[in-house]
Amino acid sequence: MWSRTLSGFILGLLLSISVALNLNLLLPIAQDVSLLIGLLVAFPIWAGVQVWSYSFSSAKQAWLKGTIVLAPNVVLSTILMMMGLSA
C-alpha cells in the first residue's frame, strides 16, 4: 500500500503542477484568473491521481500508467516554456 501511496503522491503532484502550468501558459486570460483556475484544478487532479494509483493491483503498474499520463503533460509544459522564453 505504501508503494502505491508514494506513486500516486509523486505522480499526482507532478501532474497537477504540470496541468496547472499548461493551463496558465495556454489560456489567453488575465494572469490572476489563470492562477485561480490553476489552483482550482490542481488539488482535485492530485487527489484523483492518488485514487487512480490505488486502483492498480501493483505499484509497478501504478508507476507505469501514471508516467504514461504524466509524460505528455511534462513535454507540453517544456515546449510551452521554451516557446515563452524564445518569444
Partner 1 sequence: MKREALKALTNAHAWIGLVISTVLFIVFFAGSLSLFRDNIAQWESAPHFANEHSSTQISLDNTIAAIEQQYKIYMHDEVRIWLPNKQEPLTNITFAAQLPDEQHQDLDLLLSPSSNKIVGSGDSFDFANFLYGLHVDLHIDEFGKYLVGLTTLFFFVALISGVVIHWRKIIGKFFQYRKDGDKDRLLDAHNVIGVMGLPFHIMYAFSGLVFNLLIIFQISYAVVLYGGDQQALFKDAGFVDTHIEEANIAQPMVGLDKLMAKAKQDLGNVEFTRISIEHFGDQSASIVFIGKDSSQFSTRKEIRYHIASGQELYKTLNNYDNALRSGLSVIASLHFGDFAGYGLRLLFFILGIGTCYIILTGNLMWIEKRASKRKVNKLGLHLVKAMTSGTFIGIIFATGVGFIAARVLPITTVLRSEMIIELFFVCLFATMTASLLSKQSLFTTWLCKLTAMILVAVPLLDWLMFANEIILMVQCQRFDIIVVEVILILLAFACWKFSGQVSTYDTELQVNLPRQDLSNINVNH
Cβ 49 to partner 1 shortest distance, Å: 9
Going by the DSSP 8-state scheme, the letter that residue 8 receives in this structure is H
Query: Among residues 25 and 76, whose Cβ is nearest to partner 1?
Result: 25
Going by the DSSP 8-state scheme, the letter that residue 28 receives in this structure is -
- Cα–Cα distance, 69 to 15 (Å, whole number): 8
Cβ 83 to partner 1 shortest distance, Å: 13
Cβ 86 to partner 1 shortest distance, Å: 14
Q: Which positions lie near partner 1, rule CB under 8 A?
A: 1, 4, 8, 13, 16-17, 20-21, 24-25, 30-33, 35-36, 38-40, 42-44, 46-48, 50-51, 54-57, 77, 81
The b-or-e profile of 18-48 (16+ CB within 10 A means b, else e) is bbbbbbbeeeeeeeeebeeebeeebeebbee
